[in-house]
C-alpha cells in the first residue's frame, strides 16, 4: 500500500506538466481504491499477482490475465512508468506493449527489474520514496519537478462507522511485530484525546489483530473498534478524523495523503526514507531501534492539530 501512495504525487506532476495527458494506473486489486481516489487518474487496471501466483495455470486466472492484456493493447499507451522497481511490476509493465521507463540497476529495488526497461534512469536510493517517484517521471518525460508533493485525493465512499461527534483514528496494528508500539503508550495517548472530547476509532485486519485491538480498546476511556472494513470505507473514516495517529503502515500514509493531521510512530525503519508526506500537517517520529515516548507523540498531536486550524 505504501508504494501506491508514494507514487500518487507523480500523477499530479504529470497532469501539471501535460494537462491533456490521460493517466492509467495498474495496481494490485486489494489497493485499487487508492489510485481511484486521485483526481488525476482516468482508469485503474487491477492485477491479482498475490492470488494468481497460488494457481498460475488456473483457467480463470489465465482468462483474467488475457483480459488485462487486451485492455492494455486497447489503451495504446505511449509510455509506461514502473515506479515500484520490482521484478513483478516490471513483468506486468511489459504487458502494455509500450516503451517502459524505470530505475537503473543501481537504483532499482530489485536489480533484475531494470532488464525489462527500455529507459533506465539513475535515481538516488537515498531520496525519500516520493521524491524518487517524482524524479523518475520528470526524467522520463522531460519536465522539472516543481513545488511540494500534491496528492489531490477525493474519497466519496461511506465511512466504515457512523460517527456524529469529533473523533480521532488510532492505527495500532502493523504488518510486523517490530513495528508495534507498547499498549501502555497507546492508552496514554487515548487518554489525552478523550480529555479533548475526541472518540478514538481503531481498525484491524486479521483475527489476531482484532483480538489485540479489542483488548486494547477495553482499557481505553472513549474507544470504538470498527468492524472489518473495505479500504475505501476506511479511507472515508480517515478523511473525517480530527487527527490520525498510527504506526509505519500504509493507512498512516493514506491519512496523510488525504490531508488529515497525522502522526506516525516509526519503530524499525528510517522515516527519512518513507516518512509521512501529505496535503496537511504531519509528523514522523522515531526510527530504527528508537523507543518513542508517549509524551513526544502527544506533543506532535498538539502541533499538527494546531497547524490544521
| Tens digit of each residue's pLDDT (9 = 90 or more) over 178-211 | 999 999 999 999 999 999 999 999 999 999 999 9
Residue 160 binned pLDDT confidence (cut-offs 50, 70, 90): confident
Give the domain range for residue 124: 2-141
How does DSSP assign the chain, residue by residue?
A: -HHHHHHHHHHHHHHHH-TT---EEEEEGGGTHHHHTBTT--EEEEE-HHHHTTSTT-HHHHHHHHHHHHHHHHHT-S-EE--S-SHHHHHHHHTT-S-EEEE-TTTSSSGGGGGG-SEEE---TTS-HHHHHHHHHHHHHT----SS----B---SPPSS---S-EEEEE---SSGGG---HHHHHHHHHHHHHTT-EEEE---SHHHHHHHHHHHTTSSSEEEPPS--HHHHHHHHHT-SEEEEESSHHHHHHHHTT--EEEEESSS-HHHH----SS-EEEEE-TT----HHHHHHHHHHHHHHH-
User: Looking at the domain assignment, is residue 158 inside a domain?
Assistant: no
pLDDT at 237: 96
Specify the range with the lowest mean pLDDT, choosing from 46-55, 118-127, 164-173, 216-225.
46-55
pLDDT for res 197: 96
Q: Mind listing the pLDDT tens digit for each residue in 230-275? A: 999 999 999 999 999 999 999 999 999 999 999 999 998 899 989 9
When divided into structural domains, the chain yields a total of 2
137 shares its domain with 173: no
| CATH number where 197 lies | 3.40.50.2000
pLDDT in tens, 164-173: 899 999 999 9
For position 54, what pLDDT does the model report? 85
pLDDT of residue 175: 86
Q: Kindly state whether residues 136 and 184 are assigned to the same domain.
A: no
Q: Are residues 10 and 129 in the same domain?
A: yes
Amino acid at each position: 500500500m505504501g508504494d501506491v501512495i508514494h507514487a500518487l504525487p507523480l500523477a499530479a506532476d504529470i497532469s501539471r506538466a501535460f494537462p491533456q495527458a490521460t493517466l492509467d494506473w495498474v495496481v494490485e486489486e486489494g489497493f485499487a481504491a487508492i489510485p481511484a481516489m486521485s483526481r488525476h487518474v482516468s482508469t485503474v487496471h487491477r492485477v491479482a499477482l498475490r492470488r494468481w501466483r497460488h494457481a498460475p495455470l488456473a483457467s480463470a486466472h489465465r482468462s483474467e490475465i488475457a483480459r488485462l492484456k487486451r485492455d492494455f493493447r486497447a489503451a495504446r499507451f505511449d509510455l509506461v512508468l514502473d515506479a515500484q522497481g520490482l521484478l513483478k511490476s516490471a513483468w506486468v509493465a511489459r504487458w502494455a506493449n509500450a516503451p517502459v521507463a524505470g530505475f537503473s540497476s543501481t537504483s532499482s529495488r530489485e536489480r533484475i527489474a531494470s532488464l525489462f526497461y527500455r529507459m533506465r534512469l539513475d535515481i538516488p536510493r537515498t531520496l525519500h520514496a516520493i521524491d524518487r517517484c517524482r524524479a523518475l517521471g520528470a526524467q522520463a518525460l522531460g519536465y522539472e519537478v516543481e513545488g511540494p508533493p500534491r496528492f489531490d485525493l477525493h474519497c466519496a465512499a461511506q465511512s466504515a462507522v457512523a460517527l456524529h461527534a469529533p473523533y480521532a483514528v488510532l492505527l495500532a496494528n502493523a504488518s510486523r511485530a517490530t513495528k508495534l508500539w507498547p499498549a501502555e503508550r497507546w492508552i496514554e495517548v487515548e487518554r489525552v484525546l478523550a480529555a479533548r472530547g475526541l472518540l478514538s476509532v481503531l481498525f484491524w485486519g486479521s483475527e489476531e489483530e482484532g483480538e489485540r485491538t479489542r483488548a486494547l480498546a477495553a482499557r481505553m476511556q472513549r474507544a470504538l473498534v470498527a468492524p472489518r472494513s473495505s479500504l475505501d470505507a476506511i479511507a472515508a473514516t480517515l478523511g473525517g478524523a480530527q487527527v490520525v495517529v498510527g504506526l509505519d503502515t500504509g493507512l498512516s500514509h493514506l491519512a496523510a495523503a488525504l490531508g488529515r493531521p497525522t502522526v506516525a510512530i516509526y519503530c524499525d525503519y528510517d522515516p527519512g526514507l518513507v516518512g509521512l508526506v501529505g496535503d496537511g500537517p504531519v509528523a514522523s517520529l522515531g526510527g530504527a531501534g528508537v523507543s518513542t515516548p508517549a509524551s513526544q507523540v502527544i506533543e506532535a498531536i498538539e502541533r499538527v492539530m494546531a497547524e490544521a486550524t
